[in-house]
A and B are shown apart, each in its own frame.
Chain A
Amino acid sequence: MKLHLKFDFNAVCRKVLDEKLLEHNIKHKIIAFGEVELLEKLSEERLEAFSSDLNDYAIEIVENQKSILVQKIKDVIVDMVFNDDTSMNLKASAYLSDTLGHSYGYLSNLFSEVTYTSIENFIILQKIEHTKQLIINDNLSLTEIAFKLNYSSVAHLSTQFKNTTGITPSAFQRIITKRREFNQNQTN
């Protein structure tokens, strides 16, 4: 028997965070995705314990201002790419500077400095990741995906996929399918 699952990452993360905060008896308010307000002062030890507990879930407490802003940029981009709303129709640069209240030039420099990649490349990477998920999990055709992710044409998406990963979307799909069969044969 095989179950196909669909996740709401936002909800999952929120739930984990909430449970962990309760477990540590920390009075808190979850403000937005990736932002929690603590309603009491935590000792160094308690914060340490809480932080290491979160690490098990690959949740990381980001500390300094720069990484906080970079994290916000990433969150906005991921949100733009993965949620089908109209923000995708806006230019990413305008949307980012509007949402975060800094000039795009500033955001762009900061981003490259901290992450070793540019905002443009990060957006492409996220779109290609989303494309992979849609190919594998939702079985959408490339035409449907190109439309959903606002590409001007299928050819454009296909070329960008090939440029980013070195393989074509159909080769990707074939390899992942074969890999699943291969892994199944290994466990049987």
Chain B
Amino acid sequence: MQEDYINIILADDDEDDRLFFTDAFDELRITTNVKTFNDGVYLMDYLNNEESIFPNVLFLDLNMPRKSGLECLKEIKQTDKFKDMAIAIYSTSASEEDIEKTFVMGANIYIKKPNDFKTLKKVLSEVVTINWQYHTNGLNKDNFLLRL
């Protein structure tokens, strides 16, 4: 009686990054359903639509035009119906300040975008596997912090 795939969303304005991201998931053992959006406005429109399926993990790029990842994070954390979503920051920045700030604001995962495809696959696989453990074992999401 378990759902057998994980729903994943990425919001990122960089087309190459979106492509690498979806390709990486195609090769993982866990079956995933990946959706991507070009910026925060498209993302929030989708999430706020009554009929949308919420992702198990949402990946947010920090720097996006129109609405940044930080603004999305803030909105999501203020909305009760999104509380079961794990949020991963997916950014080129690895500044300690960004990392701590987003964690404090409620992000669960912080990923510095890897430079090569092999590492990307490894990192995403780790995120999904650990998130799966939280998801299927009823672990406390408030304590879920992961930095890669």
Write the residues of chain A forming the contact surface with B, with a CB cutoff of 8 angstroms: 51, 58, 60-63, 67, 74, 115-117, 122, 125, 129, 132-133, 136, 165-167, 171-172, 174-176, 178-179, 182-183, 186
Q: Which residue of A lies closest to B136 (CB)?
A: A115
Interface size for chain B: under 10, 10 to 19, 20 to 34, or 35 or more residues?
20 to 34
The answer to whether A176 and B143 have CB atoms under 8 Å apart is: yes
Note all chain B residues with C-beta closer than 8 A to A183.
106
The answer to whether A133 and B143 have CB atoms under 8 Å apart is: yes
Q: Which residue of A lies closest to B128 (CB)?
A: A116
The answer to whether A179 and B140 have CB atoms under 8 Å apart is: no
Note all chain A residues with C-beta closer than 8 A to B147.
165-167
- Show 29 residue pairs from A and B whose CB-CB distance is below 8 angstroms, ordered by the A residue: A51-B1, A58-B138, A60-B1, A63-B1, A67-B2, A115-B136, A116-B30, A116-B129, A117-B133, A125-B130, A125-B133, A129-B139, A129-B140, A132-B140, A132-B143, A133-B140, A136-B143, A165-B147, A166-B145, A166-B147, A166-B148, A171-B100, A174-B100, A176-B142, A176-B143, A176-B145, A178-B100, A178-B104, A179-B105
The answer to whether B137 and A74 have CB atoms under 8 Å apart is: yes
The answer to whether B2 and A167 have CB atoms under 8 Å apart is: no
Over the window 68-106 of chain B, the binary record of Cβ atoms lying under 8 Å from chain A Cβ atoms (1 yes, 0 no) is 000000000010000000000000000000001001111
Note all chain A residues with C-beta closer than 8 A to B129.
116-117
Cβ distance A56 to chain B, nearest Cβ, rounded Å: 13
Write the residues of chain B forming the contact surface with A, with a CB cutoff of 8 angstroms: 1-2, 29-30, 78, 100, 103-106, 110, 129-130, 132-133, 136-140, 142-143, 145-148
Contact partner of B103 (CB less than 8 A), chosen from A61, A74, A175, A186, is: A175
Query: Could you tell me the distance between the alpha carbons of A166 and B142 in the complex, rounded to whole angstroms?
Result: 16
Q: Assuming the A-B contacts A165-B145, A182-B105, are A60 and B132 also in contact, with contact meaning beta carbons closer than 8 angstroms in the complex?
A: no
The answer to whether B146 and A166 have CB atoms under 8 Å apart is: yes
Q: Which residue of B lies closest to A182 (CB)?
A: B104
The answer to whether A167 and B145 have CB atoms under 8 Å apart is: yes
Q: Which residue of B lies closest to A59 (CB)?
A: B138
Note all chain A residues with C-beta closer than 8 A to B142.
176
The answer to whether A61 and B1 have CB atoms under 8 Å apart is: yes
Given contact pairs A115-B136, A166-B146, enumerate 6 new A-B contacts (beta carbons under 8 Å): A58-B138, A74-B137, A125-B133, A166-B147, A176-B143, A179-B105
Note all chain B residues with C-beta closer than 8 A to A133.
140, 143
The 5 A-B pairs of least Cβ separation, nearest first, read A166-B147, A132-B143, A178-B104, A175-B103, A179-B104
Q: Which residue of B lies closest to A129 (CB)?
A: B139
Q: Which residue of B lies closest to A9 (CB)?
A: B138
Query: Could you tell me the distance between the alpha carbons of A94 and B108 in the complex, rounded to whole angstroms?
Result: 35
Query: Could you tell me the distance between the alpha carbons of A182 and B110 in the complex, rounded to whole angstroms?
Result: 18
Contact partner of A165 (CB less than 8 A), chosen from B105, B137, B146, is: B146
Cβ distance A184 to chain B, nearest Cβ, rounded Å: 12
